[in-house]
A = this chain, B = another copy of it.
Amino acid sequence: MRGPETRTEIIGAADRLFYERGFEHTSFADIAEAVTIARGNFYYHFKSKDEILSAVIARRVAHTTALLERWARDNPTPRGRLSAFVGMLEVNGDAIMRYGCPVGTLTIELSKLLHGSRDQVVGLFDLFRDWLAEQFRALGRDADAQALALHLLMRSQGVATLYTAYRDRDFVIREMAMMESWIDEVAGTQPAATI
């Protein structure tokens, strides 16, 4: 009937369920129920579960690319863009508290499964890393832009994990402030308006 729309819905539901329950713990029946289609239908769209996973990753790549472009559009300065990244921890707070970081947790799960799509997921980290490095480069840190980007990525991963563990919002707020201070240090700028 709708064709590509059903396919899109399947990918969307799988994306959400893979995040909330994990890849392995999500069954075809779960996805079918979420989309309210017949079980047999997504063998018309996908030949295997791995194929759905690849489509989910592709979707995340597209969404992440769009997110980074939006951040760049909404924030003229590199410093402001870095704050947009830090702010993600608060914007997605509830989800992170329950399910952790979508990229980090999927990377870990696929690593333990020795799953072939692992590297594709790490590609999502690359998107953030390269985008962050670009901002640090714009702030005059050409030499160590990539290392600084990885450091900020590392911090967001650590905060996300401990947020899932302790569910302590104050901890997140505190660490976000520390990340902002750190950015100010390496950028050699004055602290921005109170955040």
Contact = CB atoms under 8 A, between A and B. Distances in A.
Given A112-B20, A156-B158, A158-B158, A104 B165 contact: yes
Contacts of A174: 147
A125 interface: yes
B25 A164 contact: no
Contacts of A164: 107-108, 111
A166 B122 contact: yes
A150 B147 CA distance: 23
Interface residues of A, number: 37
Given A154-B162, A156-B158, A171-B150, A112 B122 contact: no
A36 to B, nearest CB: 23
Q: Is chain A's binding surface mostly helix, strand, loop or mixed?
A: helix
Contact of A104 (B109, B154, B161): B161
A180 to B, nearest CB: 14
A166 B164 CA distance: 22
Contact of A111 (B100, B113, B122, B147): B100
A71 interface: no
A42 interface: no
A88 interface: no
B113 A99 contact: no
Interface of A: 20-22, 24-25, 98-100, 104-105, 107-109, 111-113, 122, 125, 147, 150-151, 153-159, 161-162, 164-166, 171, 174-175, 178
